[in-house]
Structure 1
Amino acid sequence: MAELLHRLGTFAARRAWTVLIAWIVILGVAVGGFLVGFKGLSSSFDIPGTASGDVIAELEQELPDFAGATGTVVVHATDGAITDEQREQVTALIDGAEGLPDVAAVNDPFATEEERAEQQRQLEDGRAQLEAGQQQIDDGRAQLEAGAAQLEAGQAALDAGRAQAEAAGFPTAQLDAQQAQLDAQRAVVEEQRAQLDEGQAELETQAARLERGTELLELADGIRLVSDDGATALVTVSYTETRLELPQESKDATMAHFLSQPIDGVEISFSTDIAQGVPEIVGVGEAVGVALAAVVLVVVLGSLLAAALPIVTAIFGVAIGAMAMLSFSGLVQMASVTPILGLMLGLAVGIDYALFIIYRHRKQLLRGADVVESIGLANGTAGNAVVFAGITVIVALLALGITGIPFLGLMGVSGAVSVAVAVLIAISATPALLGLAGRRILSRRAIAKAAAAEADGSTADALQAVRPMSNARAIISAVLAVAVLLTIAIPSLSMRLGLPDGGSEAADSTAYRAFTLTEAAFGEGQNGPLLVTAALPGDLDELEVEERQLTVARELAAQDDVVAVAPIAVSDDERLAVFQVVPAEGPNSESTEALVRELRTMPPVDGDMALGVAGQAASNIDISEGLADALPLYLAVVVGLSFLIMVMVFRSLLVPLIATGGFVLSLFATYGAVTAVFQWGWLGELFGVHQPGPILSFLPVILVGILFGLAMDYQLFLTTGMREAYMHGAEARLAVARGFRAGRSVVVAAALIMIAVFAGFIASESVIIKAMGLGLSLGVLLDAFVVRMLLVPAIMHLVGKGAWWLPRWLDRIIPNVDVEGAALERQHPAHH
């Protein structure tokens, strides 16, 4: 590989324009693919096979009107209650929204509240009518009983007269006629009594139905669409497409419509379901990050020209990688963060990889090497390490596919493509640009300083002056590093995973305004109502359906942290009932999470009505659980791969063990730091976190993949120097010191560049990008400066010669990759 890269570097240096034009053509192809294939990105995340996904699938089949995405338009009067005039204008906007793309229905909150009031009036009127009816029946029964008593008295008198007549031998024909009249009257009374009983039964049925309706209305009392003070109203927009499949254009059209006719004294804001679009990929923060990286490059490389090359090649590579990935968005649904991960990584590793090659080339030029030969040698040595480091990062990113989570696998592919392009550009376009630059990448000051050092032999003296650290210093360094990392990792023990809600958005965003207005006017739970389904036996009459709905509603309302329950639909075959459940707190609260779990573990209501739970909170839990379940497997695969790869590179068992253990420590320290900021709210104002909440659910997995690859980069560039010194005969502890001395400058520079680029994304308004930027920058900071620069050298010093031990049988079977390119240096010496 080293020899092949040497030839490639030499060719690129001599045929610079050929190579650069080829890359420009590749960029043109990527841009063309983007223009043809880009079909937009999704702002939603989903995992197939989740419990909430199954509920949505059932709704699509039984009640499709409730399976689509929903969003909320929050209407708020800035000065008192919403006036009649303002209400008419809002209603006109609602009426005009029915024809918007993918909109199934728009609920008028004012009409809904009027219907609720009308239902209340009907119930009250019905209660009054029932009372009046009961009074009529009671009066009729009293009259009937009085008549029956008179009939009984007449019957007694008639019986007495008959007894006297029969005793005296008088005829009884007249008495028989009177008896017939009494019997007819008694039959009429019995008929009237039956009618009264029938009326009483009907009255009792109506009373029972009225009580059910009253109880259901009371259970749903907490679900309001117009606030008690009349200043805030919630317009619910239902879409025909599910949350994952709803195009961004449809959400944009909804916002544009409701903002198209401003209403005096009324502000309109939108929930995250509508407002959360594709975040801005490049902003001021990213530009500042790249500018800081440029400053580091100028300091390390000593000239503006040399510093400009890594930035130019990195931006060029990012453009190709991003355009190439987005070209397939029409074939594969991509989440909005997919290109962002590629951008972050492409910029960071693109600058670093070019830096490694340029740094090596610059050192060789200062020693008097020929330009072309130096470029070839730098490409064969540092470029070889770049290829190997890039492959390590690519493998870690592609391994995201084993999680079985589609959007995460795509993010891994996007990152891997960007890293692959960065590697290819580093080993081809960078040599070409170096060939065009010639010796101009060296400043006069650097040339003069190198000549003076060569003349008085200070360079060789500096190398000879390197001494191993003391054992006491090594022990203190190792203990201190481990203690610092474990302390920072403590918050990770309480880490909760979730997806951002409106409360996590930027304080000046419409989503945050909608979230806070809804919370203030209707309570926290209204920002994340649950959708609960109940399986019914089917073939029920209307009364039985009502009884079943009330039974389920009672059971739901009896749960802790439930504010209100409302039955909202029953399928045509009476086999599925749907309820809206408003929890006491928001969708990301611990109580709502506990409520969802409790509802899912409940036995079927009345033994045959099984419950299902969907909604934002339930979906967030499902996605977070899926990602949390995937994390241990992914971590095991990545750590296992790292160990095997490093055994092959360093031909040692202990060095990979130290490197892997350090990575795990820095990873959990990063988790702890992110938890402290985003979940506990520490330094929240500094990082723009105004409302603490759960950690972004896919962040831990992403951090494993990226930080592992970058950690192995730094390990590679530091430890290869140590191994090279050891193989050239230096004593083990001295080799550690010399290797560290040789590689520390470029590793520090590379880490600072990574931190600067990643930290630039912290300024993003998107909490997703902010969390990724902070996690990656902190991860690089901890791993590069605490683990690689402090812990690893200290432990390797303490272990000594044992660090390079490898069983003979294993030494025979593993290939010699010669990452440091020692064999190439012997074949192609850089000096004249």
Structure 2
Amino acid sequence: MSRFLYRLGRGAAAHPWRTICAWVLLAGVVAGLAGAVGGTPQDDYDVPGARAQVGIDQLRAHLPAAGNAGARVVVHDRDGRPVPSDALTTLTGRLQAMPHVVAVEPALPSADRDTAVVTVHYGVPVTHPDLMGNLAPLDAAAAPLRTAGLQVELGGDVPESAAAPMAGRGELVGVVAALLILVLAFGSVVSAGLPIATALVGLGVGSAGVTLLAAAMDVSTAAPMVATMVGLGVGIDYALLLLTRHAEYVAQGVPVVEAAGRAAATAGRSVVFAASTVLVSLLGLRLAGLPVYSSFGFATAIAVVSVAAASLTLVPVLCRFAGRRVLPRSVRRGARPGTGTARKAGVEAGAPRTPLTTRWAARVARKPVLWASAAAVAMLALAVPALDMRTWPQDPSSQSTSVTTRRAYDLVSAEYGPGSNGPLTVVADRTRLSDDAVARLAATLAARPDVVAVTPATTSPDGAISVLDAVPAFGPTDARTGRLVRDVRASLPAGAELTGGTAFFSDISDMLAGRLWLVIAFVVGVSVLLLAMVFRSVVIPLKAALMNLLSIAAAYGVMTAVFQWGWATDLLGLDHAQPVSSWVPILMFAILFGLSMDYEVFLLSRIREDWLATRDSRASVVRGLSATGRVITSAAAIMVAVFLGFASEVDVVVKQLGIGMAVAILLDATVVRMVLVPATMSLLGDWNWWLPRWLDRLLPTVHAEAVGQIPATDGAPATGTTDGAPATGTADPATPGARPALRPTPPAPSHPVADDEPELVGAP
């Protein structure tokens, strides 16, 4: 792989306009195909494994008005006067004239008659393109009543699909924050803008790829947002890693084109492996059992592949154009290529130039037990609230009061009771249940203390099913709802099915809670195997998986405290505590585990590279952390800014996802990478690299960094040694334009290592 990446990076830098033309051609082809045959994201709300889906399918087959999309128009007089009947008649007529409407129920007045609810039934599912995200017909029908001074709010399936659109602030906040962070961290506007430009190009091509994906399968309307969130973050990370290694070589006096090749052969392999771990994690989403997660995984994978490809090819091009401007101005003024001053400045300008990180790493290594204990206690304390986490799919009650669906929900709850927002629907198969059996079923439900009303049974025109609704005594997000659904379902006779939105949400919540452990097992297992292949160790991958799980658990805990306990809902524009969305934990885990592995690869590859050269375990940890600390910190800060930008959106699921992922990345880059990793590795010493001989023979060897020899092509000299020593040296100033002839630094192992000896297999 290193030979291919070296040629790719060096070739891109040597022929920048060819590379740019290739990307322009690729972008044009993909965009043209997307415009010609691309699809539109469309949700698929059917869940075949959910018990409530059985009843929904029966309703669609025999009573389409009850089994497809619906909407509620809630009319309220703010002065407390009865809603005029002629206004309701006009509204009903306008609603009946809307496309796809098959029935409009008579207006249902409240007890004091200052509120009325008109229910609209459609003959198609809410995912139909004419309905999904389209509030215009409902707004037009309600316009005369609003003009007359009445309050009109919209609820139900159709309004909920359009009530909280994405404002697009996340991308803007992320890009601006990334630019500021990179300017402060690297002291160069060129170095700051280069990763952002690369990520945006890759993200643009990836977005067109997601449009093509939508032509081949149902892609959730939220999938492009998740793909953008992850793609923007990792794209900047990958470009930043390559840029940093390139700048190190340039600061050492290596010509720009050669430096681009070497950066691709070293840091480029970290990028490839890091992207692979993200893709593996995304594959785990398919195990969640819901089609929507598959679309999340595929869309995000397209974005990750696109930004990784852009980083590997466009970073060398932009570095060629930038020349030595990738270095801070102070370094450029104080040193010239090929001089001893350049070498000295290179040490200061490269990754090891951050003395604060070096001092920090040395301090942690001196007292590893203290630091590891303190960090572990802090992470466990943050994770404790996760034990109380309760999940429930998003519903209008979780949204801001600025959204019409939330106001409609509140009006219905206040005027008709909280359970009216989530009735339980019972579908009775008339071939198995007689009239008397249906009547007994209704009486049994009405006798329950947690049910306040049961509607009369309605029989379908073909006489195949009867339908009745039971109104709970509490709202659908109440903690008692799940138990109510299970109890009612257990009491139903054979031939009766419990369905409706509340039962459907309860089934989804239970399904996802059970599937979470399957996703965790798959993602952790495959990631551990990949890390073992790369780092030739049993301890390193197990420790990495444990720490990643710890950071994700802490993020779950913070999210539970913020949203479910209500510790910071006011700061997020929410007026009450609410459960964590059922959609968030699995999605968060799959994405975060891959992103955490990115940082693990960046850090451990440098530690291992140094350890192979010196066999000094503790010093290798210090030098590796010093070399990557600035990159990881800057990359994490950018990622946190991107995720917090998405947390500013109106939709509460996006808020929860943004907050949870921002907290996880923050903890992972600070507590885990800067404290737990160096402390535990200092404690374990050479045991970090222990690998049984039998396992060493079974595992394929994959390198994340070029710890051996960087390939020499076109007459370029080899840079590195076969024993893993890092190459150092300078260009020969006597030969203008010549590639640098590097003198390898021989390793100084703490103990002799035979040529045929595996890398620290067996006991250290």
Q: Report the TM-score when normalising by structure 2.
A: 0.88
Counterpart residue type for residue 747 of structure 1: I
Distance in 1, matches of 2:453 and 2:540, equals: 60
Q: Secondary structure at the match of 1:305?
A: helix
Return the match for 2:420 from 508, 519, 526.
526
| Farther off after superposition, 289-298 or 90-99 | 90-99
Aligned twin of 1:571: 460
Return the match for 1:620 from 492, 495, 505.
505
Distance in 2, matches of 1:384 and 1:355, equals: 14
Q: Secondary structure at the match of 2:425?
A: strand
Aligned twin of 1:108: 106
Aligned twin of 2:89: 91
Counterpart residue type for residue 262 of structure 2: L
- Per-residue CA deviations over 1:62-85 (Å, capped at 9, x if unaligned) read 33332112221111112222453x
- Per-residue CA deviations over 1:748-776 (Å, capped at 9, x if unaligned) read 11111111111110000011211111111
Tell me how far 1:395 sits from its aligned partner: 1.4
Q: Report the TM-score when normalising by structure 1.
A: 0.81
Tell me how far 1:58 sits from its aligned partner: 1.6
Contact 1:33/1:324, CA 8 A, preserved across alignment: no
- Specify every segment of 5 or more residues in structure 1 that has no aligned partner in the other structure, as ranges: 110-224
Counterpart residue type for residue 444 of structure 2: E
Distance in 2, matches of 1:455 and 1:386, equals: 28
Alpha-carbon spacing, 1:37–1:237, altered in 2? closer, same or farther (3 Å): farther
Distance in 1, matches of 2:345 and 2:408, equals: 71
Aligned twin of 1:240: 123
Counterpart residue type for residue 28 of structure 1: G
Does 2:383 correspond to 1:505?
Answer: no
Q: Secondary structure at the match of 1:564?
A: strand
Aligned twin of 2:604: 719
Contact 2:459/2:467, CA 8 A, preserved across alignment: yes
Alpha-carbon spacing, 1:645–1:315, altered in 2? closer, same or farther (3 Å): same
Tell me how far 1:428 sits from its aligned partner: 0.7
Contact 1:495/1:695, CA 8 A, preserved across alignment: yes
Distance in 1, matches of 2:345 and 2:399, equals: 61
Counterpart residue type for residue 91 of structure 1: T
Q: Secondary structure at the match of 1:823?
A: coil
| Farther off after superposition, 95-104 or 808-817 | 808-817
**1:97-176 superposed matches below 5 A:** 97-109=95-107
Distance in 2, matches of 1:734 and 1:106, equals: 75
Distance in 2, matches of 1:559 and 1:298, equals: 65
Aligned twin of 1:352: 237
Does 2:612 correspond to 1:735?
Answer: no
Distance in 2, matches of 1:563 and 1:251, equals: 34
Distance in 1, matches of 2:635 and 2:522, equals: 26
Counterpart residue type for residue 31 of structure 2: V
Does 2:551 correspond to 1:553?
Answer: no
Aligned twin of 2:23: 23
Distance in 1, matches of 2:662 and 2:346, equals: 40
Alpha-carbon spacing, 1:25–1:255, altered in 2? closer, same or farther (3 Å): farther
Aligned twin of 1:760: 645
Aligned twin of 2:543: 658
Counterpart residue type for residue 229 of structure 1: D
Distance in 2, matches of 1:273 and 1:470, equals: 54
Tell me how far 1:353 sits from its aligned partner: 0.5
Alpha-carbon spacing, 1:74–1:399, altered in 2? closer, same or farther (3 Å): same
Aligned twin of 2:147: 263
Identity within the alignment, %: 37
Q: Secondary structure at the match of 1:248?
A: coil
Q: Secondary structure at the match of 2:72?
A: strand
Does 2:388 correspond to 1:494?
Answer: yes
Tell me how far 1:457 sits from its aligned partner: 10
Contact 1:272/1:501, CA 8 A, preserved across alignment: no
Contact 1:341/1:411, CA 8 A, preserved across alignment: yes
Contact 1:72/1:234, CA 8 A, preserved across alignment: yes
Tell me how far 1:413 sits from its aligned partner: 0.7
Distance in 1, matches of 2:560 and 2:71, equals: 29
Q: Secondary structure at the match of 1:104?
A: strand
Aligned twin of 1:485: 379
Return the match for 1:601 from 478, 490, 496.
490
Contact 2:198/2:315, CA 8 A, preserved across alignment: yes
Aligned twin of 2:702: 817
Alpha-carbon spacing, 1:90–1:457, altered in 2? closer, same or farther (3 Å): closer
| Farther off after superposition, 443-452 or 706-715 | 443-452
Does 2:205 correspond to 1:320?
Answer: yes
Tell me how far 1:509 sits from its aligned partner: 1.0
**1:393-412 superposed matches below 5 A:** 393-412=278-297
| Farther off after superposition, 58-67 or 254-263 | 254-263
Distance in 1, matches of 2:607 and 2:344, equals: 27
Distance in 2, matches of 1:831 and 1:631, equals: 53
Contact 1:45/1:335, CA 8 A, preserved across alignment: no
Contact 1:381/1:824, CA 8 A, preserved across alignment: no
Tell me how far 1:622 sits from its aligned partner: 1.4
| Farther off after superposition, 700-709 or 464-473 | 464-473
Return the match for 1:228 from 88, 111, 114.
111
Contact 1:285/1:762, CA 8 A, preserved across alignment: yes
Distance in 2, matches of 1:462 and 1:418, equals: 33
Tell me how far 1:330 sits from its aligned partner: 4.1
Return the match for 2:227 from 342, 364, 370.
342
Alpha-carbon spacing, 1:233–1:52, altered in 2? closer, same or farther (3 Å): same
**1:48-87 superposed matches below 5 A:** 48-84=48-84, 87=85
Q: Secondary structure at the match of 1:364?
A: helix
Alpha-carbon spacing, 1:437–1:248, altered in 2? closer, same or farther (3 Å): farther
Structure 1 or 2: more helix by fraction: 1
Counterpart residue type for residue 618 of structure 2: R
Alpha-carbon spacing, 1:450–1:77, altered in 2? closer, same or farther (3 Å): farther
Contact 2:251/2:343, CA 8 A, preserved across alignment: no
Return the match for 2:565 from 680, 683, 703.
680
Tell me how far 1:379 sits from its aligned partner: 1.1
Contact 2:133/2:161, CA 8 A, preserved across alignment: no
Tell me how far 1:236 sits from its aligned partner: 0.4
- Specify every segment of 5 or more residues in structure 2 that has no aligned partner in the other structure, as ranges: 712-717, 720-726, 732-764
Distance in 2, matches of 1:643 and 1:28, equals: 39
Alpha-carbon spacing, 1:696–1:354, altered in 2? closer, same or farther (3 Å): same
Tell me how far 1:21 sits from its aligned partner: 2.1
Contact 2:83/2:116, CA 8 A, preserved across alignment: no
Tell me how far 1:234 sits from its aligned partner: 0.8
Contact 1:294/1:308, CA 8 A, preserved across alignment: yes
Tell me how far 1:664 sits from its aligned partner: 1.1
- Count of residues paired in the alignment: 706
- Per-residue CA deviations over 1:447-498 (Å, capped at 9, x if unaligned) read 2356768459975998999785477721111111111111111111121221
Tell me how far 1:728 sits from its aligned partner: 0.8
- Per-residue CA deviations over 1:769-808 (Å, capped at 9, x if unaligned) read 1111111111111222111221111111111111111122
Distance in 1, matches of 2:63 and 2:660, equals: 42
Contact 2:251/2:346, CA 8 A, preserved across alignment: no
Aligned twin of 2:664: 779
Aligned twin of 2:553: 668
Does 2:470 correspond to 1:581?
Answer: yes
Q: Secondary structure at the match of 2:103?
A: strand
Q: Secondary structure at the match of 1:822?
A: coil
Distance in 2, matches of 1:455 and 1:798, equals: 32
Q: Secondary structure at the match of 1:439?
A: helix
Aligned twin of 1:700: 585
Distance in 1, matches of 2:132 and 2:556, equals: 36
Counterpart residue type for residue 594 of structure 1: R
Tell me how far 1:31 sits from its aligned partner: 2.5
Tell me how far 1:355 sits from its aligned partner: 0.6
Alpha-carbon spacing, 1:505–1:38, altered in 2? closer, same or farther (3 Å): farther
Counterpart residue type for residue 655 of structure 1: I
Alpha-carbon spacing, 1:472–1:359, altered in 2? closer, same or farther (3 Å): closer
